[in-house]
A = this chain, B = another copy of it.
Amino acid sequence: METFKVPVGISNRHIHLSHDHIEALFGEGYSLTKMKDLSQPGQFASEETVTLIGPKGAIAGVRVLGPARKASQVELTATDTFKLGVKPPVRDSGKIEETPGIDVEGPKGRIHMNKGVIIAARHLHMSPQDAEKYKLDDGQYIRAIVPGSRGGILDQVLVRVSPDYALDLHVDTDEGNAFSLVNGQLLEVCLP
A positions within 8 Å CB-CB of B: 77-79, 90, 121-122, 143, 146, 148-156, 171-180
Contact = CB atoms under 8 A, between A and B. Distances in A.
Contacts of A121: 149-150
11 contacts: A78-B178, A78-B180, A79-B79, A79-B173, A79-B174, A121-B149, A148-B156, A149-B156, A152-B152, A152-B155, A178-B179
Given A174-B178, A177-B77, A180-B90, A154 B155 contact: no
A150 B90 contact: yes
Contacts of A176: 78
Contacts of A154: 152
Q: Give this chain's copy count.
A: 2
- Label chain A's interface by main secondary structure: mixed
A149 B148 CA distance: 23
Report, nearest first, the 6 A-B pairs whose CB atoms are least far apart. Answer: A78-B177, A178-B178, A153-B153, A174-B177, A152-B155, A175-B178
Contacts of A179: 178
B79 A149 contact: no
A173 to B, nearest CB: 7
Given A78-B180, A175-B178, 11 more contacts: A78-B176, A79-B79, A79-B174, A121-B149, A143-B152, A148-B156, A150-B156, A151-B156, A152-B156, A177-B178, A178-B178
